[in-house]
Amino acid sequence: MTDMQRESMEYDVVIVGGGPAGLSAAIRLKQLDADLQVVLLEKGSEVGAHILSGAVLDPCGLDALIPDWKEKGAPITVPVREDNFYMLGEAGQVRVPNWPMPKLMNNHGNYIVSMGNVCRWMAEQAEALGVEIFPGMACSELVYGENGEVRGVVAGEFGKNPDGSKGDGYEPGMELLGKYVFLGEGVRGSLSKEVIGKFNLSEGHEPQKFGLGMKEIWEIDPAKHREGTVTHTMGWPLGANAGGGSFIYHLENNQVYVGFVVHLNYKNPYLYPYMEFQRFKHHPMVAELLKGGKRVAYGARAISEGGYQSMPKMVAPGVALLGCSVGMVNVPRIKGNHNAMLSGKAAAEAAHAAIQAGRASDELTAYETEVREGAIGKDLKKVRNVKPLWSKYGLTASLTLGGFDMWTNELLGLSLFGTQKHGKSDAEATGKVFAHKPIDYPKPDGTLSFDRLTNVSFSFTNHEESQPAHLTLKNAEVPIAENLPNYDEPAQRYCPAGVYEVVREEGKEPRFVINFQNCVHCKTCDIKDPSQNIHWTVPQGGDGPNYPNM
């Protein structure tokens, strides 16, 4: 208990995060035993408000959890009908045929979905089973027990002043305690980061790797819309500057998801991922598709890319990490939702068995074994070398070597490359200014491409201004004293929401400004800051983006 008096409530399982991982865990627990007390806390104003995926969904996770999802009216109605892959040059493109692609890259049987809507629907299923779901409740602290085990979380603290003191309407929040706490916070969760650090869970594993994914929803000319079409591209505009590529998914209602991922291990500190995305839309093939359409939503989120060799230990006394809090994305497939669901299911099954046996607050080792040796481990193991080969040898070599490796894994169950290492963290990969040249980006034209702040208004983000900034600096001097001379303070560019500015006024020293109100909760700053000086924490509950059907 902290110095202030907080009410506390006891549950069997406390789940942080209403993403596919957390919701699957909640549903499975109640399927196994309707009498279990299960609570799920979500920082978004509603479940789905902070969800951002591509998304092409491999339904294997949902099949295992709710086999009759179709009859139950899941918003999963657009099967993939066409799968295209292009290498882009500045003025043209080459279609890579589907036949040399390993089978696992095939999207046949998958669906184009809004994961926000899928999560909203999963929340309805969970509530119907009796799960208590509280949206608008950010979990800001972990509660530890007498022996150092995780006992619960603090959620719903509101009304702090910008300086951290208690305001007039201060609410201390509640302690929600459980026999087990599941952290389904997604990529780079703040509580998960604490648990990984405190229990040294990354020891013996490769560093986690990340990409920054940015996405717009467009309503396009119906004559150009081809429902069920999936297109991926690589090459221009990133070229040799960074790994990454794009996705274009035609969902229903003449809407298209247009997205762009930049791997965050890029070296050139002048690289501006958001502007790469905007530039991409000017490629003739993409511009032609979008011409006459309008962008109706924008958002961004980091994506985990370390895969098999980067998954930390995922259990510690009283706590289990789920889904992308561990990092379960199959990178070449750009898919993690199925594994997030399977991990939630596996954690629920392990916790149920433990509770039945009278256990509490210990390590759910059965969950970790299932993840590493079951369907998730098998899915990730086959593709474990694609990302490290790309990072080491670049795009073309990675397509051939990575493709070859996926084939041998698929056909023979082995890799000639063993298990490649990722090496440096994404923060450490950032090079210094003296070794790199600034990149000249064209100005957004306001039709196909947009400036950052205009686009942020299409994420419908809102943060109450009279609260402390949820982006904190370990050392306030570092951005100007170290990052500016060494890296031209890359936060100005890597943040896809324009949160960070270096303000220069005549006769004054440059100032580092944090516009936390713009933050879309992508966590890139926490990942990419070369000095690892920025710490992302949760703002008060309900704040952040309000994505429609991302």
Ligand X SMILES: Cc1cc2nc3c(=O)[nH]c(=O)nc-3n(C[C@H](O)[C@H](O)[C@H](O)COP(=O)(O)OP(=O)(O)OC[C@H]3O[C@@H](n4cnc5c(N)ncnc54)[C@H](O)[C@@H]3O)c2cc1C
Tokens for 178, please give them: 């459980």
Q: Which of 186, 26, 217 is nearest to 113 (CA)?
A: 217
In DSSP terms, which residues pair with 262 in a beta bridge?
212, 244
- Residues of this chain, 111-170, that bind ligand X according to CB under 6 A: 138-139
Tokens for 423, please give them: 């090496």
* Per CB under 6 A, 59 contacts ligand X: no
* Per CB under 6 A, 50 contacts ligand X: yes
- Residues of this chain, 502-541, that bind ligand X according to CB under 6 A: 538
* Per CB under 6 A, 324 contacts ligand X: yes
DSSP single-letter state for residue 3: S
Q: Which of 138, 198, 166, 157 is nearest to 17 (CA)?
A: 138
Q: Work out how close the CB of 24 gets to ligand X at its nearest, in angstroms, rounded to a whole number.
A: 8
* Per CB under 6 A, 184 contacts ligand X: yes
* Per CB under 6 A, 348 contacts ligand X: no
Of the CA atoms within 13 Å of residue 180, those in its CB half-sphere come to 35
Q: Work out how close the CB of 23 gets to ligand X at its nearest, in angstroms, rounded to a whole number.
A: 7
Determine which residue in the list 25, 26, 57, 346 makes contact with ligand X, applying CB under 6 A.
57
Q: Work out how close the CB of 434 gets to ligand X at its nearest, in angstroms, rounded to a whole number.
A: 32
* Per CB under 6 A, 173 contacts ligand X: no
Q: Which of 148, 149, 173 is nearest to 160 (CA)?
A: 173
Q: Work out how close the CB of 536 gets to ligand X at its nearest, in angstroms, rounded to a whole number.
A: 10
- 511-530 b/e (C-beta count within 10 Å ≥ 16 → b): ebebbbbbbbbbbbbbbbbb
* Per CB under 6 A, 335 contacts ligand X: yes
Q: Which of 41, 151, 43 is nearest to 545 (CA)?
A: 43
Tokens for 101, please give them: 């692609």
In DSSP terms, which residues pair with 152 in a beta bridge?
143, 177
Determine which residue in the list 55, 154, 242, 478 makes contact with ligand X, applying CB under 6 A.
55
Q: Work out how close the CB of 353 gets to ligand X at its nearest, in angstroms, rounded to a whole number.
A: 22
Q: Work out how close the CB of 386 gets to ligand X at its nearest, in angstroms, rounded to a whole number.
A: 16
DSSP single-letter state for residue 509: -
* 8 A C-beta contact, residue 230 and residue 83: yes
Binding segment for ligand X (CB under 6 A), chosen from 5-13, 19-27, 100-108, 193-201, is 19-27
- Nearer of residues 340 and 401 to ligand X, judged by Cβ: 340
A 10 A CB-CB count for 92 gives 12
- Residues of this chain, 87-106, that bind ligand X according to CB under 6 A: none
* Per CB under 6 A, 498 contacts ligand X: no
**How would DSSP label each residue in 168-212?**
EEEE--EEEEEEEEEE---TT-HHHHHHHHHTTTTTTSPPP-EEE
Give yes or no for a cis peptide into 135 (omega within 30° of 0).
no
DSSP single-letter state for residue 309: G
How far, in Å, CA of 533 to CA of 134, rounded? 32
Binding segment for ligand X (CB under 6 A), chosen from 72-80, 197-205, 335-343, 512-520, is 335-343
- Nearer of residues 173 and 479 to ligand X, judged by Cβ: 173
Long-range Cβ contact pairs of 485-492 (< 8 A, separation 24 or more): 485/433, 486/432, 486/433, 486/530, 487/269, 487/430, 487/432, 487/433, 487/530, 488/269, 488/270, 488/433, 488/438, 490/269, 490/270, 490/271, 490/430, 490/528, 490/529, 490/530, 491/525, 491/529, 491/534
Q: Work out how close the CB of 199 gets to ligand X at its nearest, in angstroms, rounded to a whole number.
A: 17
If binding means CB under 6 A, how many residues of this protein chain bind ligand X? 44
Determine which residue in the list 286, 290, 311, 340 makes contact with ligand X, applying CB under 6 A.
340
Determine which residue in the list 51, 311, 314, 350 makes contact with ligand X, applying CB under 6 A.
51
Binding segment for ligand X (CB under 6 A), chosen from 121-129, 182-190, 435-443, 495-503, is 182-190
* Per CB under 6 A, 80 contacts ligand X: no
Contact code string over 284-303 relative to ligand X, x by CB under 6 A? -----------------x-x
Binding segment for ligand X (CB under 6 A), chosen from 55-63, 162-170, 438-446, 526-534, is 55-63
How far, in Å, CA of 214 to CA of 48, rounded? 17
- Nearer of residues 380 and 401 to ligand X, judged by Cβ: 380
* Per CB under 6 A, 334 contacts ligand X: yes
Q: Work out how close the CB of 311 gets to ligand X at its nearest, in angstroms, rounded to a whole number.
A: 12
- Nearer of residues 184 and 318 to ligand X, judged by Cβ: 184
Binding segment for ligand X (CB under 6 A), chosen from 52-60, 124-132, 216-224, 348-356, is 52-60
Contact code string over 201-240 relative to ligand X, x by CB under 6 A? ------------x-x-------------------------
Determine which residue in the list 29, 329, 395, 401 makes contact with ligand X, applying CB under 6 A.
329
Of the CA atoms within 13 Å of residue 41, those in its CB half-sphere come to 31
- Residues of this chain, 237-276, that bind ligand X according to CB under 6 A: 259, 261
DSSP β-ladder status, 511-514 and 500-503: antiparallel
Interaction site with ligand X (CB under 6 A): 16-22, 41-44, 50-57, 138-139, 184-186, 189-191, 213, 215, 259, 261, 301, 303, 323-325, 329, 334-338, 340, 538
